[in-house]
């Protein structure tokens, strides 16, 4: 039987509200169909308290009860249900990037590009004004190197691979999983949301160029 847990702490509720809005928006924009994707945000860094969507939910209809609060070992401290297996990827990003929010999307464009560039191990984007929407980027000449990892259903093993790679890549703003989707992050929910929007714009652009010739 599942361990009995309590409802979310009061301080977690405003964060859950922001992530519920993200779910509605991302579903409407085609970045979170089915039950795909998951979202997390840090309520406290030390000791870590991370709010994360529970597994297998329609992101257009997230309720406060659909969030869990977990610790740095993915143990559920509050909320009902279980976190997605991908929780270990969220924790890897929070640890290595000191991210306050981690967002994961499955769009048609990011899936197509992640598949195409899985062999190369990275997708490099340069020359676009929209790159300046990524935190710390000041020119369109910036080269954004997005690592592409092979997808794996063994998420703890994948997360450990991702964590080691991110430690060596201080400048990246996100990564792709082959045939799967995008992970990006930010200091807070607003910055992470902006990064999803910038990346999805750039992926859509490249997808049209590379697949449709437009
Ligand atoms: Zn996923």
The span from the CA of 193 to the CA of 191, in Å, is 5
Q: How many CA atoms lie within 13 A of 66 on its CB side?
A: 19
Ligand 1 centroid from CA 180, angstroms = 6
- Local structure of residue 106 (DSSP, 8 states): B
Exposed e or buried b per residue across 18-43, where buried means at least 16 C-beta atoms within 10 angstroms of its C-beta? bbbebbebbbeeebbbeebbbbbbbb
Ligand 1 centroid from CA 17, angstroms = 21
Ligand 1 centroid from CA 185, angstroms = 15
| pLDDT of residue 63 exceeding 60 | yes
Ligand 1 centroid from CA 84, angstroms = 9
| pLDDT of residue 110 exceeding 70 | yes
How distant, in Å, are the alpha carbons of 28, 45, 53, 82 from that of 10? 28, 17, 17, 20
Ligand 1 centroid from CA 141, angstroms = 30
- Average pLDDT score over the chain: 94
**Average confidence (pLDDT) over 147-155:** 96
- Local structure of residue 2 (DSSP, 8 states): P
Ligand 1 centroid from CA 150, angstroms = 13
CA 77 to chain centre: 22
CA 4 to chain centre: 28
Tokens 């991908």 sit at which residue? 86
pLDDT tens for 180-204 read 999 999 999 999 999 999 999 999 9
| pLDDT of residue 5 exceeding 70 | no
């Amino acid at each position: 039987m599942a361990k009995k847990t309590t409802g979310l702490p009061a301080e977690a509720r405003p964060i859950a509200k922001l992530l519920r809005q993200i779910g509605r928006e991302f579903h409407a924009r085609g970045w979170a169909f089915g039950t795909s994707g998951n979202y997390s945000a840090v309520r406290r860094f030390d000791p870590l308290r991370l709010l994360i969507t529970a597994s297998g939910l329609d992101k257009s209809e997230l309720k406060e009860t659909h969030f869990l609060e977990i610790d740095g070992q993915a143990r559920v401290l509050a909320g009902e249900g279980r976190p997605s297996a991908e929780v270990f990827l969220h924790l890897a990003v929070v640890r290595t990037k000191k991210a306050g929010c981690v967002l994961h999307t499955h769009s048609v464009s990011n899936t197509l590009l992640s598949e195409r560039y899985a062999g190369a191990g990275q997708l490099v984007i340069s020359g676009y004004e929209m790159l300046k929407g990524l935190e710390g980027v000041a020119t369109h000449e910036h080269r954004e190197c997005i690592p592409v990892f092979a997808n794996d259903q063994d998420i703890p093993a994948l997360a450990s691979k991702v964590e080691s790679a991110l430690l060596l890549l201080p400048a990246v703003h996100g990564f792709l999983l082959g045939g799967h989707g995008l992970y990006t992050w930010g200091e807070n929910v607003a910055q992470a949301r902006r990064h999803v929007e910038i990346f999805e714009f750039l992926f859509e652009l490249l997808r049209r160029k590379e697949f449709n010739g437009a």
